[in-house]
Amino acid sequence: MMISLWLLLIPFGLLVIVWLFLSIAAVLKMLRFGFLSRTAVISTFAFLVFSIAVFATSIISLSQVDWSASYTFGTPSINLPNVNGLKDRIPQIPKP
């Protein structure tokens, strides 16, 4: 079975969308109900900084991948053209 590498990005993209939704909700909740105290603001800022760092690292490492490539699982089936009847002349190994 052959799959394209970019297919792996689909679940990752879905995860990022859910992540963004929950992150925005969490940040808004912290700022709204955290009385805008110093701890609430600093922890929100730290979360945003670390998230950006994780995103940047991910983008750098993922950008090195050739996403147009394909990968074959299991034994590959080779269909060579039968040029000059060469395929017919391959000696058959007798089955035991």
Partner 1 sequence: MKIQPSIPNMLPGEKVVLLLHRHGFIAFRFALVYIFFAILPLIGWWYLNSNTTIFEDPTNFGYALVALLLSAYALVWILLFFITWLNYYLDVWIVTNERIINIAQQRLFYRVVSEQKLYRVQDVTWEMKGIVANMFRYGNVQVQTAGEDDRFIFENISQPEKVAQAIMNLLESIEKQVGLDKIAEIEGEFGAKSAEEPKKNNTA
Kindly list the residues in this chain that would bind partner 1 in the complex (CB under 8 A): 5, 8-9, 12, 15-16, 19, 22-23, 25-26, 29-30, 33-35, 37, 39-40, 43, 47, 50-51, 54-55, 57-58, 61-62, 64-67, 69, 71
* Token representation of residue 69: 């490539």
Cβ distance 5 to 65 under 8 Å? yes
Cα 57 from Cα 52, distance rounded (Å): 9
CB of 24 to partner 1, least distance (A): 11
Cα 11 from Cα 7, distance rounded (Å): 8
CB of 76 to partner 1, least distance (A): 14
CB of 77 to partner 1, least distance (A): 19
